Amino acid sequence: MNPHEYTQVNDRTFLFSGHELPEDERELIRLRRDFHRHPESAWTEYRTTAVILRELRAAGIPVLYGPSLHEPSCMYGLPRPEAAEEAFRRAAGELGGDGEILPMRGGFTGCMAIIEGGLPGPVKILRVDIDCNEVAESRSAEHRPFREGFSSVHEGLTHACGHDGHAAIGVVTAKMIARHRDRLPGTVKILFQPGEEGLRGAASMAAAGVADDVSFLFGGHLGLTLTKPGAVAASAVAILSSTKLDLRFEGKAAHAGMYPQLGRNALGAAAAAVTNMLAIARHGDGASRINIGTLHAGSGRNVIPSSAEMRLETRGETAEINRYMLGEVRRIARAAADMYGCSLTETIMGSADSAESSPALVEHEMALLRQMKEVGEVIREQKFGAGEDVTTLMQVVQDRGGQAAELMFGTPLAAPHHNGSFDFDEAVLLLAAKVFAEIMFSL
């Protein structure tokens, strides 16, 4: 099927909409709570991937995983080797052995299900993210996961952005589609992507070619700026382009009292860079952001600091605006290093440009959503307001002549995203699974 041609959705037979599907809903909640209880951050999603593999294989769905899904040179922001190995051993202990996760060692997490339909048609892909946040979860009795016994068992980690729900939706959507694969046009891939936080994971999978043969790509997110239950937005807009980078200033240590003239103050260089970066003129064509999240420097009160490292990010409403912010950061950092006689090293830790949903595909989604009984309100566009590296995969598909869309699903939130008290209404899980499944059968 040409990606610009669509099956008529008027009066079509819906396989899932209008049906209660209690077993699917129970499974969605069970999986979401399991993932929530065992959160894993970027490039360490070993147990998460293993659970997904077990679920899909038990349903007779072929799954690819391991190094073949990644291009190592594009695996941004890998954790320190010792932290990665600690996470690997933790997952092996929770799984009762490391046999399933050995091929993932070194950060090759995530997987891709492939469901071949019984009818001719295009290749379609649903991308869901599976990593957690490096945030401590609330232990308040008012926090439902803690109160009901499925809060994080991993210190300093929690699913505070809904990716536990996304992973569960991906698994159950795959099973729903597979039950009716004889009526499925073409092929459906379900991509379980690691490392969305920090915009780290999509680049390596895109470079490995997972979406090269895809005509239609879909992503989705729970909540964010859409908190009305039952509301579905056919396209997310204002997905910010962003770059995450680490800057390291190297100077020279010296006695601060006896020979300060022999030192080169890396902390001074970093501090000068910070104050000037925060003064970058904002762009007139759209939203522009910068945040310096951490700065570590020095070794002692009476020692000229020989090194300083900062972690920061830039954001822009468009790729052009983000490039402007990043260019200013680099200019200022070089100038500050020169001023203090220091060297400068830059490491990109994550990156993704903005992207827009394909208009014709959005129209198709809206026609379908309007006929689904579970959808309380259909919204054409909803502001996303943050970065999301699904845009990297969207661009791959669109650049090859295909179409892509990022949907949003309304749900009340207990706290903002990336907050230790974050939680969502689990009723949204079945709604999202039904929407994605119906879309795959409509193309």
Residue 6 has what pLDDT? Answer: 43
Q: Per residue in 148-169, pLDDT tens?
A: 999 999 999 999 999 999 999 9
Is 380 found in the same domain as 305?
Answer: no
CATH number at residue 380: 3.40.630.10
Considering the domain boundaries, does residue 174 fall inside one? yes
Cβ atoms of 122 and 3 closer than 8 Å: yes
Residue 12 has what pLDDT? Answer: 66
Please state the domain count of the chain.
2
Q: Per residue in 329-367, pLDDT tens?
A: 999 999 999 999 999 999 999 999 999 999 999 999 999
Is 215 found in the same domain as 260?
Answer: no
Residue 1 has what pLDDT? Answer: 40
Residue 385 has what pLDDT? Answer: 86
Residue 10 has what pLDDT? Answer: 52
Is 361 found in the same domain as 317?
Answer: no
Using 70 as the pLDDT threshold, list the residues of the chain that sit under it. Answer: 1-12
Is 325 found in the same domain as 214?
Answer: no
- Write down which residue in 323, 350, 377 finishes a domain: 350
Is 208 found in the same domain as 324?
Answer: no
Cβ atoms of 306 and 250 closer than 8 Å: yes
Q: Give the structural domain span for 63.
A: 22-239+355-442
